[in-house]
Amino acid sequence: KNIIHYDSIHSTNSQAKLLCDEGLQEGSVILSEEQTSGRGRLGRNWSSPKGSSISMSVVLKPEINPVHVAKVTQISAAALSLAFEEMDIQCNIKWPNDIIINNKKVCGILTEMSSELNKINYVVMGIGINVNIDEEAFPDEIKSIATSLKIEYGKQISRKQIIASFLKYFENLYFEFINTGSAESSFEICRKRSLLLGKNIYVIRGSERTPATAVSIDENGELIVKYEDGTLSNLVSGEVSVR
Ligand code: BTN
């Protein structure tokens, strides 16, 4: 398989998109030791310190309706949790895209797509993992919400092992989705490890926070929430927090 490794790059997702426009093949993996303008969801920055984090983007060209692309994020979250479990690391999945240990974020997923009408040109699935980052290296404003595997487990963790194990699980779950049209086994893993299900949460839209309860993750991978007036709603993606 095609693995491209950089010492430093602006963003592995942005670089993957540039290379896709030049015809980069499906299954290619872009890795970088550091990102100088790593991107998170909702226009946020993502910091990836040199050598102690994983910044990885996987190029996919699924022949599916673009409306189903959000499922890829959850397939990836499920695969990450299996990879962590294999290394005796216990984590939760915070729908739709965060991996959480001890209530702090250790990993985020940013899935981006280029499509025309109902046809996908490519999908870039990017993962950032805080692996061997020391506590002092986190900026003060995120210390209370972010952590690394090293902080939680008190030892260096092999980045190679995480990447290899993740790719193995991701490949299985992803092809199951492509071949059967169903990502149910990934959703089942997301439910089992969910940080949100059964909890009181806020659904966040811009500056508005609406209290609700996280009821279930349905067969499409959507989060079903119940508002305080009793109405149910499906979230396809978006932002929620635990109350
Ligand atoms: C989030 O939690 O908001 C998503 C963070 C995603 C970060 C990864 S690091 C590799 C890839 N390249 C980027 O610029 N972002 C993603």
CATH code: domain of residue 219: 2.30.30.100
38: CA distance to ligand 1 center in Å?
Answer: 6
| Neighbour-count burial of 126, counting CB atoms closer than 10 A to its CB (0-12 exposed, 13-18 middle, 19+ buried) | buried
Let me know whether 45 and 133 are in one domain. Answer: yes
pLDDT at 130 over 80: yes
C-alpha 128 to ligand 1 mean position (Å): 5
Confirm if 60 and 123 have CB atoms less than 8 A apart.
yes
Pair (35, 102) in one structural domain: yes
Question: Could you tell me the pLDDT band of residue 42, with boundaries at 50, 70 and 90?
Answer: confident
The CA distance from 40 to 46, in Å, is 5
Q: What is the CATH number of the domain that holds 167?
A: 3.30.930.10
Domain residues for the domain of 217 are: 200-242
Residue with CA closest to ligand 1 atom 7: 128
Centre of ligand 1 from the C-alpha of residue 126, in Å: 5
Residues 111 and 206 in one domain: no
ipTM rounded to 2 decimals: 0.99
Q: Decide if pLDDT at 203 tops 80.
A: yes
Q: Which residues contact 7 (CB under 8 A, 6 or more apart)?
A: 32, 33, 34
The rounded mean pLDDT for the chain is: 96
212 in Cβ contact with 174 (< 8 Å): no
Residue 239 has pLDDT above 90, yes or no: no
Same domain, 45 and 165: yes
Nearest ligand 1 atom, CA 14: 14
Contact of 58 with 29, CB cutoff 8 Å: yes
Pocket of ligand 1 contains residue 44 by CB under 6 Å: yes
**Number of domains the chain contains:** 2
> Looking at the structure, do residues 223 and 157 belong to the same domain, yes or no?
no
What does the pLDDT average to over 154-164?
96
Is the minimum distance from the CB of 76 to ligand 1 under 6 angstroms? Answer: no
With a pLDDT cut of 90, the percent of the chain lying above it is 92
Residues 37, 107: one domain? Answer: yes
Q: Is 111's C-beta closer than 6 angstroms to any atom of ligand 1?
A: no
pLDDT in tens, 75-108: 999 999 999 999 999 999 999 999 999 999 999 9
Q: Are residues 129 and 19 in the same domain?
A: yes
pLDDT at 137 over 80: yes
Q: Are residues 102 and 204 in the same domain?
A: no
According to the model, what pLDDT value does residue 236 have? 87
Count of CB atoms situated within 10 Å of the CB of 191? 17
